Structure 1
Amino acid sequence: MNLYQGRSIWSVSWFWLGIASVLFLSLSLRFWKISQFNTLVFDEVYIAKFANNYLTHTPFWHSHPPLGKYLIAIGIWIASLNPFGYDSLNSLTGSILSPFSYRWLNALIGSLIPLVIAGIAYQLSHRRSYALIAGLLAAADGLLLVESRYALLNIYLLFFGLLGQWLFLLALDNQPGRRGFFLTLSGACFGASTAVKWSGLGFLVGIYLVWISAWVIRWLQSFRSIATYSSSASNPSATIMRHGASTYTPLQNLTQLKLSHLLFDLGAIPALVYRLAWIPHLQLNPELNFWTLQKLILVGHQQVGSGSEVHPYCSLWYTWPWMIRPVAYFYYIASDIAEPVPSLGPPLPGNAGTVIYAVNGMGNPVLWWLSTATILFLLGILAKRICLEVTVVISKSLAVQQSISFTGIDCWIGLYLVLNYTANYLPWMKVTRCTFLYHYIGASIFAFLAIAWMVDLWLRSNQPRLQALGVTVIFLILLAFIFWLPVYLGLPLSSENFLSRMWFRSWI
C-alpha cells in the first residue's frame, strides 16, 4: 500500500501539526542554554563588538556590509528592555551585556529558516509532504543549528536570501495583477541578503539563471513537433525523477516575467535596499563615503591570505560538500564538570583535563553526504536531458523527441535546485582568500531540498523497497543529528566520547 494513500494522512491539520513540531524543535534547540558560554565565541569577537558599537556610537570598519550587525544591535537593545537572560554578564563587547542579549535574535531567526525552506518546497511542488520533509531535514542540520546559537552573520544572509526566493515563487504562483507586489518584496529581501554579506547575492543570481534557462528551454522546444512526452519505461532516470500526483509548478510561469520585471523588481529594488542599508553606518563613520567603503571591502578580502598559516581551519571550496574540514567554534578542556568555563577566549586543544566543551561548525554528516550525492545525481540527469534537447534541435529526430520532455514538474524542480546550488557554490572557485566550511551554507540548502525531494518521491512510490528506503534515509539523518548533537550544543564530553564523534583527523 502506498504510504500516501488516503487524504487524511496529509490533511491540512496534520501538515500544520508537523510544521509546528519542526518549529518547536528548532526553537528548543536554539534557545536551550544559549548563554552557557559567557564569552565571545568564534567571530562574535568581531560581530558582537561591532553590533554594540552602533549602540555606543563608536566608529569602526568591518569587511562586511552592516545589516546583520544592525539586527544584532537591535536584539541587544530589545534585550535591555526586559529582565530575561541576565543570569550571566560580561564586558567583552565594550559594554556590560549578557550573552543572551547578543544571541537571542539569531536563535529566533534561525528557528524560522526551516519554515522558509518548507515554504520553498511547497511552492515548488504544491506538496505538503515534500514541504514537511524539507523543513524537518533543515531542522536536523548541525551547521544551521550552530550558526543560529551565536551572534554571527550567516543566519541573516540565509534568512533574507531564502525568503526572497520563497516570495519570488509566490509571485509566479499569483495572477499578474498581484505578481508585482511579491516581486518587489522578493527584490527587497535579495537586497537585504546582500547587505549582510556580498555572498548573499548568490540567491538573486540563482533566480536570474533559472529565468534565463526558462527562455532557453522555450526556444529549444520551439523546434520540437511534440511538446511534452515522457517515456519513463525506456528512461530509468525519468522513472526516478517522476511523480504522478502533481503536474504544476509556478516555475512554468517563468517566461511570463518580462525583462522589465527583472530589471526593476530584481535589479533596482535590491540595489536600492543595499544602498539604504548603509545610511546608519555612514552616519556613524562620516569620514568614509559609500563607494570608498565598497572598495575597502573588496580590497580587504583580496588581501586576506590562504592556507593553514592564516587560519588552522581554512578549507578549499571543493572539500565543502563532503565536509572534510569543519571549523572549531569553541574548545575548552576542564578538569571536571563543575569547573566554570572562563569568560576569556578558549585555550588551544591540549591533553590536560577530563571534560571537553566543544562547539564544532559542522553539518549533519549523513545529511550532507546524501544531499551532495543527490545534487550531483540531479546534475547528471539534467545534463543528459539538455544534451538530448540539443540533439533534437540539430537532428530533428522524432525518436529522440519522444524520449524526453522539459515541461514536466520533475525537470523544473531539478533545474531550480541545481542552478541555485551552482549560483551559491561555484563563485567560490575564484576566491583566493582563506575560506571556511560555513561559506557553503547557502548552497547546502538546495542540496537539502534535493534529498528531501528524492525522499518524498520514494515515499510516494508504489514499490515497498523505495518506501522503506525513504523511511531509512530520514531515520539515519535524525539518528546522526542526535549522535552529533553534543558537539553542536557544546555539551560536556569525555575525551573518548568527543573523539568518537571526530571520525576523521581533519575534523579535529
Structure 2
Amino acid sequence: MMRPPNQIRDPFGLTVLLAATFAALAFIRLRVPSAPYFDEVHYLPAARALLDQSAWLNREHPLLGKELMALSIGVVGDTPLGWRILSLAAGTLTLFALCRTVWFTTCSRFASMAAGVLLSTGFALFIQSRIAMLDVFMACFTAVALWQVAGAMREPEAGRKRLAIAGVALGLAMASKWNAVPLAVIPGLGFLLLRAMAGRRRLVTSRRGMPVPGITLAEAAVWLGLVPLAVYWLTFLPVYFVADQPLPIGGFLALHQQIEALQASVTKSHPYQSCWYDWMLNIRAIWYLYEPVDGAQRGIMLIGNPLTMLLGLPAMAWCAWAGITARRWDALAIFVFFAASMVFWMVADKPVQFYYHYLLPGCFLLGGLALALDEFWKRGIRWLPLAVLAGSIALFIWFYPIMSAAPLSGVSAFEKWMWLPSWR
C-alpha cells in the first residue's frame, strides 16, 4: 500500500510562543518613562478629552487610536501602564497576524517562523509597541485584515466569516491612521482581478473560481468595500457628542478636508524628520527619549535593524521578479503591498515625515526577506537563512538597552550604538 503524503504541520503553537516572548520582552520597563514622552504628549490629552467627552483634540488624525487609549485609561487607569498596554497588545497581535498571513499564503513553516523572528527583532515593531502612538494600531488592524483574507483564500469553507472580519479590520485600520487607506483597497481590487482571471461568464454573481469559491463578487464588494467604510464612519460617533465644537450632522465629508489641510499645514522643520529614501537606507534615526529619567540616564532610539532592513531591499526586488516571471503570487502580493505603502509617502502632501511612518512598509519588507530566505532553505542552502536570523537576533540583543529604556552608564553611553553620524 502507498503511504499517505506527509502533511505540513501548522506552526500555530510556535507562533503563539514567539508572540508571547515578544510581549514579555516588550513589557519590561513598559512603565518607563513614568511621564509621557515624544508624541504621547499629543495623543494622551486627546484620549483623556474623549474619555470625559469634554473636547475633541488632535483633529489632524482619525479617532480610533485615541479612543483605544481612552478605553485603556478608563479600564487600567491614567498611568503609564494604562497609556501603553493596548499598544503592547496591538503590537503583539500584529506579529501574530502577520505570521499567520505568511503561513496561509505560503504553507511554509520556515517562512512563517522566519517572518516572525525578523519582525520581532526588526526594532520598529518592538519600539512602537511600547509607546502610546497611533501607528501600531493601524499596523495591527491591517495585519488582521491580511491574515483573514489569506485565510479565506486557503480555507474557503470559512470564507464568508473571514472576509467579514477582514472588512471590519480594514475599516478600523483606516480609522487609526490614513496610512492604511491605499492598502485597504487592495483586497477588494485583488478579488475582482482574480475572479476575472478565473474566466467566469457571470462575473458579478458567480460563486465559482478564485480567490474564494462560494463568495460572489457582489458579496465580496460588501465585505471588502461597504463594511470598511461603515466601520470607519462609526468610529467617529463619539465626536458628534463632545461638549466643545462637536462634529455637526452632515459635516463628516467636510471634516476630511479639514484633516487633509491640517496634515499639510505642518511645515516647520523638525530635527528628526526624514523621507522615504532615508527610511529604506536606514540612515535617519529618531531619539524618542534621551535624558535622566526615573533615577537613571535612559534612551529610546527608533531605527530599523541594520542587517535585515538593508537585506530586505534586494529581497523585495526578488519578490517582484519572482512574482512576475515565476508567478510566485505570494511574493508578488508582498511586493504590491510594500510598493503601495511606499508610494503613499512619496506623493503624500505631508511636508514633515518621520521614520515611524515606515513601520508598515518595513513589516512588508521583512516579510519579503522571509520569503527569500525560505527559497534558500528549500534549495538546501540552509546556513545562509540561519545566519541572517541569528544576526537579526544578535543585533536586537545589542540594541535592546536603547530600545527598552534600560539604565545607561552615563550621558555619553549612547556613543557605542552610533554607527552612523545621522543616527545621533
Match of 1:506 in 2: 422
Q: Give the Cα separation in 1 of the matches to 2:189 and 2:305.
A: 29
Residue in structure 2 matching 1:311, options 237, 251, 270: 270
Match of 1:78 in 2: 75
Unaligned runs of 5+ in 2: 200-208
Match of 1:484 in 2: 399
Count residues with an aligned counterpart: 403
Match of 2:229 in 1: 271
Q: Give the Cα separation in 2 of the matches to 1:175 and 1:368.
A: 34
Q: Give the Cα separation in 1 of the matches to 2:189 and 2:273.
A: 30
Match of 2:203 in 1: none
| CA deviation after TM superposition for structure 1 residue 212, in Å | 5.7
What is the TM-score of this pair, normalised by structure 1? 0.74
Amino acid at match of 1:431: A
Match of 2:204 in 1: none
2:302 counterpart of 1:361: yes
- Structure-to-structure mapping, 1:35-434, within 5 angstroms: 35-61=31-57, 62-80=59-77, 97-175=78-156, 178-208=158-188, 210-211=190-191, 214=194, 253-254=210-211, 258-284=216-242, 285-286=245-246, 288=248, 289-305=251-267, 309-332=268-291, 334=292, 340=294, 356-382=297-323, 385=325, 406=327, 411-432=328-349, 433-434=351-352
Taking a change above 3 Å as real, the CA distance of residues 381 and 175 of structure 1, as seen in their structure-2 partners, is closer
Instruction: Decide whether the 8 Å contact of 1:282 with 1:290 is kept in 2.
Output: no
Residue in structure 1 matching 2:20, options 4, 20, 24: 24
State the secondary structure of the residue aligned to 2:34. coil
| CA deviation after TM superposition for structure 1 residue 174, in Å | 3.1
Instruction: Decide whether the 8 Å contact of 2:152 with 2:212 is kept in 1.
Output: no
Q: Give the Cα separation in 2 of the matches to 1:65 and 1:260.
A: 29
| CA deviation after TM superposition for structure 1 residue 148, in Å | 0.8
Instruction: Decide whether the 8 Å contact of 2:166 with 2:224 is kept in 1.
Output: yes
| CA deviation after TM superposition for structure 1 residue 382, in Å | 4.2
Amino acid at match of 1:166: W
Match of 1:223 in 2: none
State the secondary structure of the residue aligned to 1:358. strand
Q: Give the Cα separation in 2 of the matches to 1:452 and 1:314.
A: 29
Instruction: Decide whether the 8 Å contact of 1:144 with 1:363 is kept in 2.
Output: no
Deviations 1:221-260 (A, max 9, x none): xxxxxxxxxxxxxxxxxxxxxxxxxxxxxxx933856542
Q: Give the Cα separation in 2 of the matches to 1:65 and 1:412.
A: 33
2:360 counterpart of 1:442: yes
Q: Give the Cα separation in 2 of the matches to 1:24 and 1:287.
A: 40
Deviations 1:165-207 (A, max 9, x none): 111112222336x422221211111011000111112332332
Deviations 1:333-369 (A, max 9, x none): x4xxxx745xxxxxxxxxxxxx742111212121211
Deviations 1:423-458 (A, max 9, x none): 111121112421111111111111111111122222
Amino acid at match of 2:264: Q
Q: Give the Cα separation in 2 of the matches to 1:266 and 1:198.
A: 17
Q: Give the Cα separation in 2 of the matches to 1:340 and 1:439.
A: 29
Deviations 1:264-310 (A, max 9, x none): 211111110011110012211425432232121011112221xxx52
Amino acid at match of 1:412: W
Q: Give the Cα separation in 1 of the matches to 2:246 and 2:227.
A: 25
What is the TM-score of this pair, normalised by structure 2? 0.88
Q: Give the Cα separation in 2 of the matches to 1:212 and 1:328.
A: 43
State the secondary structure of the residue aligned to 1:33. coil
Deviations 1:47-71 (A, max 9, x none): 1111111222221232111111111
Q: Give the Cα separation in 2 of the matches to 1:208 and 1:416.
A: 13
Amino acid at match of 1:43: D
Q: Give the Cα separation in 1 of the matches to 2:135 and 2:305.
A: 17
Q: Give the Cα separation in 2 of the matches to 1:36 and 1:66.
A: 26
State the secondary structure of the residue aligned to 2:382. helix
Amino acid at match of 1:254: P
Taking a change above 3 Å as real, the CA distance of residues 174 and 107 of structure 1, as seen in their structure-2 partners, is same
Instruction: Decide whether the 8 Å contact of 1:210 with 1:419 is kept in 2.
Output: no
Instruction: Decide whether the 8 Å contact of 2:95 with 2:116 is kept in 1.
Output: yes
Deviations 1:144-164 (A, max 9, x none): 111111111111101111101
| Runs of 4+ more than 3 Å apart | 208-219, 255-259, 380-383, 494-497
Deviations 1:361-388 (A, max 9, x none): 21212121111221123224445x3xxx
| CA deviation after TM superposition for structure 1 residue 140, in Å | 1.1
Taking a change above 3 Å as real, the CA distance of residues 171 and 475 of structure 1, as seen in their structure-2 partners, is same
Taking a change above 3 Å as real, the CA distance of residues 217 and 325 of structure 1, as seen in their structure-2 partners, is farther
Taking a change above 3 Å as real, the CA distance of residues 381 and 121 of structure 1, as seen in their structure-2 partners, is closer
Q: Mean alpha-carbon deviation: is it higher for 185-194 or for 126-135?
A: 126-135
Unaligned runs of 5+ in 1: 1-5, 81-96, 220-251, 342-354, 386-404
Taking a change above 3 Å as real, the CA distance of residues 265 and 115 of structure 1, as seen in their structure-2 partners, is same
Instruction: Decide whether the 8 Å contact of 1:140 with 1:477 is kept in 2.
Output: yes
**Based on CA coordinates, which of the two structures has the bigger radius of gyration?**
1
| Percent of residue pairs identical | 23
Taking a change above 3 Å as real, the CA distance of residues 294 and 79 of structure 1, as seen in their structure-2 partners, is same
State the secondary structure of the residue aligned to 1:195. helix
State the secondary structure of the residue aligned to 2:307. helix
CA RMSD of aligned residues (A): 2.4
